[in-house]
């Protein structure tokens, strides 16, 4: 008996949902109908997989939607849809998944809701998986997704979506990393590859390159005990050279189009780090130049904070401290950067005090422990 191809089902679900939404089904009802079709596929496909799996799912899901529309008195306004029921047959060759990306990243949604809806509708993850990834109860995540569905159900897909908003949502997914049984970084890369196949846009390529270059260093980022390993101390032999080569190739092709955006510029910084054989051989002068471009593109104070670190490496810690002095001291990680630059400048007492202060402000236990160890290391040097 043939085995059910779960990866195929998961990959087809977003495009099937997009077809129903394009035909006029509201998002929430369409999503319910697609889930019913997937359940039916789990029952029927092991016996005989259809020749056109997507067409089969579209036909079954559309019928489920129409059945629900007919039986729901509050949806009588959909009677016109019933009269226009298409005949079963092959699914149209047009891939509407791109519109689904835009719908899930609608500006009416909060960032957290947009991420959850993207993972549910485009990624095909279950509510339980998403809840585990975000370390919240399943009921809480179900409510969040349900509210998001109601919001986008009122949106018509009759105008182009905002690619930049979609990319920011995908980058949020990527930065969540790993929790529960879903690797969100890997899932974000998969979804961004899918988006890149649907739309020819240099910033989509830039984001994919950025994700690959960051993900390539993942294995070296933590020690066996779970503690953070700074970039300069990472074992570069553990970096994924295949992902680095792919990321750099994608980035070079995007940059050649001369339509620079923030994700391409971030990827260029990551590529310079990845391309350096050792930390000492990093081209910090070029990195400063790319941060200048990023600051021009975004105006982000966080970019200028990272630039101060790069200036400290390229031109010396005093220059880095001067660049840091121009920024708001309440910025996240400002104190940690100041500690690092003071240590580089030969002032361990100030650096130790600032590391301890930064540890108290750290956003995560791993970062707090790392900064605490840095302070302890410097204090131990000073005390015989």
Q: Which tens digits make up the pLDDT trace of 193-213?
A: 989 988 899 999 999 999 999
> Which regions of the chain are under pLDDT 70?
1-4, 72-96, 156-161, 177-181, 382-384
pLDDT at 297: 95
Q: How far is CA 139 from CA 39, 151, 167, in A?
A: 21, 19, 28
Neighbours of 13 (CB within 10 A): 25
pLDDT at 87: 44
Neighbours of 41 (CB within 10 A): 24
Helix axes 301-315, 334-344, angle to 10 degrees: 10
pLDDT at 108: 84
pLDDT at 89: 46
State how far the Cα of 326 lies from the Cα of 152, in Å rounded to an integer. Answer: 42
Helix axes 334-344, 365-382, angle to 10 degrees: 30
State how far the Cα of 247 lies from the Cα of 316, in Å rounded to an integer. Answer: 30
Helix axes 6-23, 27-44, angle to 10 degrees: 150
State how far the Cα of 287 lies from the Cα of 17, in Å rounded to an integer. Answer: 43
Residue 294, φ and ψ in degrees, nearest 5 = -60, -40
State how far the Cα of 336 lies from the Cα of 90, in Å rounded to an integer. Answer: 58
**SS3 of residue 175 by DSSP:** helix
């Amino acid at each position: 008996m043939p085995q059910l191809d779960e990866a195929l089902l998961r990959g087809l679900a977003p495009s099937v949902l997009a077809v129903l939404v394009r035909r006029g089904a509201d998002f929430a009802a369409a999503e319910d109908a697609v889930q019913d079709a997937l359940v039916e596929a789990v029952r029927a496909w092991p016996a005989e997989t259809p020749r056109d799996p997507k067409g089969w799912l579209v036909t079954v899901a559309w019928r489920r939607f129409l059945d629900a529309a007919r039986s729901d008195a509050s949806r009588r306004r959909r009677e016109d849809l019933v009269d226009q029921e298409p005949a079963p047959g092959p699914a149209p060759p047009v891939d509407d998944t791109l519109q689904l990306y835009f719908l899930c990243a609608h500006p009416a949604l909060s960032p957290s809701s947009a991420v959850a809806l993207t993972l549910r509708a485009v990624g095909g993850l279950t509510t339980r998986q998403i809840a585990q990834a975000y370390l919240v109860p399943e009921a809480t995540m179900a409510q969040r997704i349900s509210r998001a569905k109601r919001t986008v159900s009122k949106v018509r897909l009759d105008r182009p979506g905002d690619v930049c908003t979609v990319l920011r949502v995908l980058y949020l997914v990527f930065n969540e990393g790993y929790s529960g049984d879903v690797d969100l970084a890997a899932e974000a890369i998969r979804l961004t590859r899918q988006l890149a196949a649907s739309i020819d846009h240099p910033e989509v390529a830039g984001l994919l390159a950025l994700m690959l270059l960051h993900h390539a260093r993942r294995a070296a980022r933590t020690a066996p005990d779970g503690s953070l390993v700074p970039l300069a101390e990472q074992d570069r032999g553990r970096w994924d050279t295949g992902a680095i080569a792919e990321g750099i190739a994608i980035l070079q092709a995007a940059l050649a189009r001369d339509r620079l955006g923030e994700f391409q510029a971030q990827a260029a910084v990551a590529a310079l780090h990845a391309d350096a054989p050792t930390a000492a051989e990093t081209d910090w002068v070029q990195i400063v130049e790319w941060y200048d471009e990023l600051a021009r593109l975004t105006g982000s104070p966080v970019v200028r904070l990272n630039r101060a670190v790069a200036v400290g490496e390229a031109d010396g810690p005093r220059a880095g401290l001067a660049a840091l002095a121009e920024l708001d001291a309440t910025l996240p990680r400002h104190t940690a950067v100041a500690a690092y630059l003071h240590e580089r400048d030969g002032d361990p007492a100030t650096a130790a005090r600032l590391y301890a202060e930064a540890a108290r402000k750290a956003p995560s236990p791993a970062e707090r422990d790392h900064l605490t160890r840095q302070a302890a290391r410097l204090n131990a040097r000073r005390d015989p």
